Structure 1
């Protein structure tokens, strides 16, 4: 995680040292949850290894996957984390995973102690917003085939590691439609 944090050229080794002793290593088995709908998110986690999906249940009780996270990324039910209200999302491990969990109280202390941490969290928040906006525009503007091709070009690891039912949900299509798209592209 230290290398990842330093790669932003914002935090110093001294800033990162402020984290020592405040991080908890958590191991989750495949299908276990980082957070479930109805819980309040009280931490941010750094994914050391594993794959996670964020999803919510529709009014018809269907699961809609809207995000995946891989190693060397941060993970949180961000709205719940910020507001301390109950989460409307679930975050589930799709593989055995290792997380480094940072409690919310410690993050708030880091922001108070170091302007660099405040800048870092601001940049992370901005990046999450930009990613979310791109996702919304892609879903609303582009065809399912274009969304799949975009995924193929920009995140081919998704296609190899994520079960097709979750991938289809992420793309906003049925599994059958996904199979047809995959077949037409491979021909």
Structure 2
């Protein structure tokens, strides 16, 4: 699965993918467990094979704000901490049991030294992350909650039903009550 993901970028040789796979470990986390918590240093990247993760932070009010939901076949990390080496301000938690393929930052750095393809790959991932962030920002500024919910349903119909109401509502920037009304309006 991770080899298919890497192959989709059309930049790696089979030996580069094999070198990557040799440095990875498989990790399972239970529903409710954390990949990383606020205050920790992020020194790894994970490819989500199965399950759903949510990234959230807690402002002074104590209310958890879910700002990212990660679905299978994507990479995840506490990106700011991963880049800066500073403690993360976010939490990444399993919404359901999850299986991850994990690689350490030191190993990624080593791969980058061995081939420019890894540097190109990391640049592509950074660009994708920026575009996703921009898209999400524009959706919040431009579209109503129903449109944000419909986009999510269109892109992740199977998984949306597995996300608890309070996390999904927070992600959409609405109350759980508003989300319940939207769900009643939308027939799947």
Shorter-chain TM range is over 0.9
Provide the rounded CA distance (Å) in 1 between the counterparts of 2:139 and 2:177. 20
Q: CA deviation at 1:6?
A: 0.5
**Is 1:44 matched with 2:45?**
yes
Instruction: Please report how far the alpha carbon of residue 158 of structure 1 lies from its aligned counterpart in structure 2 after TM superposition.
Output: 3.8
Partner of 2:73: 72
Number of residue pairs the alignment of both structures matches: 187
- The C-alpha deviation readout for 1:76-105, integer Å capped at 9, x for no partner, is 000000001010100001111111110010
TM-score for the superposition, normalised by structure 1: 0.95
Name the structure 2 match of 1:181: 182
Q: Deviations over 1:123-154 (max 9, x none)?
A: 01100110011001111111112211222223
Report the Cα distance in structure 2 between the residues aligned to 1:144 and 1:130, rounded to whole angstroms: 20
Gaps of 5+ in 2: none
Aligned Cα root-mean-square deviation (Å): 1.4
Consecutive unaligned residues of structure 1, counting only runs of 5 or more, are: none
Q: 1:162 — aligned with what?
A: 163
How far apart are the structure 1 equivalents of 2:22 and 2:77? 20
Secondary structure, counterpart of 2:161 in structure 1 = helix
The answer (yes or no) to whether the contact 1:40–1:84 under 8 Å persists in 2 is yes
